[in-house]
């Protein structure tokens, strides 16, 4: 298939490499047009994915029109807060029969829209049935290296989800599909906030028991919000929920976990993000997740404390103690 990837960061580069392993033509679009020829010549993304050589079928371009020409499968991988702008521009040249996959994970600030809602607002109605969403435990570096990975493609319609799954499936990558777009999206977005919490606990030396508790209770509050929004709770037990959450909360390649580690060790957020050099979606999502939870009337104590740390300057030890000092209650919501 003819595929295009919008966004040449680490995740976009990794997905482009994976697509190029099994498809005839893959174009990777870099929004910094002047950088595209350098990537094309070097045959690797030295900034975000050094040492990962581009397959011969991968071409880098800064020309959005060229990137989308005749595309059959489009994967959009720009930061969640720029999805609206990039896809509004892409809409003018996107073939109506192209399967569109959003690999950006987040909730838009201000509007509190999921990426599905943003795309349905900026794309013409004819594209809406072709929308899909990528989720699951998948560090960019390991995907680029060709290490075993399982992901899930969520779509309202089976046809586009199958197209995207087929394009990604191959080598050491296994791609499943689901019709639960809400569950896949919210699982992928909100796990980044819980990963920050786990990083904070580890940075403070709180121990492995604390990490396991944060992962488990984090999944509970993610599921709580997702179900209120219409998700199937079983989705949050799968790749888009528990799978992605465990990886992001425990893996050393997790940018959001690294943010938490820095905070737990007493570093300032600005210094942590400057050292990271890439977007940590959980920092932005912490605000929108908190606002969304309040709007929906859903209790999300871990996300609330991360918001307080990041945006209200609450000390990390005070946030941890606030969680541990909560009133005793039943573990499951249906037992209250």
- Cα separation, 21 vs 311, in Å, equals 42
CA distance 212 to 215: 5
**Mean per-residue pLDDT for 51-62?**
96
Element (H, E) at 87: helix 83-90
Provide the angle, in degrees to the nearest 10, between the axes of the packed helices 181-203 and 208-228.
150
Closest alpha carbon to 26 in 1, 62, 51: 1
Mean pLDDT of 195-209: 96
What's the mean pLDDT when you consider all of the chain?
Answer: 95
Nearest to 257 by CA among 268, 249, 265: 249
Domain with CATH 3.40.50.720 in the chain: 2-179
Helix, strand, coil fractions of the chain, as percent rounded to 5? 55, 15, 30
Which are the contacts of 255, defined by CB distance < 8 A and separation ≥ 6?
Answer: 276, 278, 279, 280
Tokens of 248: 């992001």
Specify the CATH number of the domain 2-179.
Answer: 3.40.50.720
Measure the CA–CA gap between 125 and 185, rounded to whole angstroms.
20
Q: What is the DSSP code (8-state) at residue 123?
A: S
CA distance 301 to 257: 18
3-state secondary structure at position 26? strand
pLDDT of residue 279: 73
pLDDT band at 68; cut points 50, 70, 90:
very high
Rounded Cα gap, residues 70 and 152, in angstroms: 25
Are 314 and 290 in contact by the 8 Å Cβ rule? The answer is: no
Instruction: Reply yes or no on whether the pLDDT at 246 is more than 80.
Output: yes
The pair phi, psi for residue 25, each rounded to 5°, is -145, 120
- Residue span(s) of the chain under CATH 1.10.1040.10 come to 182-335
Mean pLDDT value of segment 10-19 = 97
Residue 82: both structure tokens together: 């720029």
pLDDT surpassing 90 at residue 278: no
H helix runs in 153-300, sequence order: 158-168, 181-203, 208-228, 244-250, 255-264, 269-276, 281-296
Tokens at 124, concatenated? 């013409």
Catalytic residue numbers?
Answer: 191
Cα(146)–Cα(168) distance, rounded to whole angstroms? 12
C-alpha 72/C-alpha 148 separation (Å) is: 25
State yes or no: pLDDT of 49 exceeds 90.
yes
What digits encode the pLDDT tens for the residues 77-134?
A: 999 999 999 999 999 999 999 999 999 999 999 999 999 999 999 999 999 999 999 9
Which of the listed CATH numbers 3.40.5.10, 1.10.1040.10, 3.50.30.40, 3.40.50.300 matches domain 182-335?
1.10.1040.10
How far apart (Å, rounded) are the C-alpha atoms in residues 227 and 77?
26
Residue with tokens 């919501």: 333
- DSSP assignment of 257-281 equals HHHHHHHHTT--HHHHHHHH-S--H
Q: Nearest to residue 283, comparing CAs of 299, 263, 301, 297?
A: 263
Token pair belonging to 52: 């990962």
What's the predicted TM-score (pTM) here?
Answer: 0.94
**Token pair 């397959």 is at which residue?**
55
User: What is the pLDDT confidence band of residue 23, given thresholds at 50, 70 and 90?
Assistant: very high
- Give the whole-angstrom CA distance, residue 101 versus residue 167: 11
**Residue 235 confidence class, pLDDT cut points 50, 70, 90:** very high
Q: Residue 330's pLDDT is what? A: 87
pLDDT in tens, 300-333: 999 999 999 999 999 999 998 898 888 888 888 8
């Amino acid at each position: 298939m003819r595929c295009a990837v919008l966004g040449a960061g680490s995740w976009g580069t990794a997905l482009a490499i994976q697509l190029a392993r099994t498809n005839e033509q893959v174009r990777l679009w870099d929004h910094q047009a002047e950088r595209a020829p350098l990537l094309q010549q070097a045959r690797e993304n030295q900034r975000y994915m050094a040492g990962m050589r581009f397959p011969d079928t991968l071409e880098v371009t800064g020309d959005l029109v060229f990137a989308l020409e005749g595309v059959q499968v489009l994967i959009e991988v720009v930061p969640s807060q720029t999805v609206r702008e990039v896809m509004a521009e892409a809409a003018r040249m996107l073939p109506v029969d192209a399967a569109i996959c959003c690999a950006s994970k987040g909730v838009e600030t201000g509007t509190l829209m999921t990426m599905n809602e943003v795309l349905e607002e900026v794309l013409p109605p004819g594209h809406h049935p072709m929308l899909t969403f990528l989720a699951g435990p998948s560090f960019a570096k390991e995907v680029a290296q060709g290490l075993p990975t399982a992901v899930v493609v969520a779509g309202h319609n089976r046809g586009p989800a199958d197209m995207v799954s087929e394009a990604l499936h191959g080598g050491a990558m296994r791609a499943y599909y689901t019709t639960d777009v809400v569950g896949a999206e919210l699982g992928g977005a909100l796990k980044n906030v819980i990963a920050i919490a786990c990083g904070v606990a580890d940075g403070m030396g709180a121990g492995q028991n604390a990490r396991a508790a944060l992962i488990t209770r984090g999944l509970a509050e993610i599921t709580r919000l997702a179900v209120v929004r219409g998700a199937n709770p079983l989705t949050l037990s799968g790749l888009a929920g528990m799978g992605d959450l465990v990886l992001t909360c425990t893996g050393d390649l997790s940018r959001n976990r690294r943010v938490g580690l820095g905070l737990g060790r007493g570093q300032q957020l600005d210094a942590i993000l400057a050292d990271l050099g890439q977007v940590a979606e959980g920092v932005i999502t912490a605000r929108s997740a908190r606002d969304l939870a309040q709007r929906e009337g859903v209790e999300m104590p871990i996300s609330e404390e991360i918001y307080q740390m990041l945006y209200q300057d609450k000390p990390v030890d005070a946030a941890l103690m606030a969680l541990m000092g909560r009133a005793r209650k039943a573990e499951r919501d249906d037992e209250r």
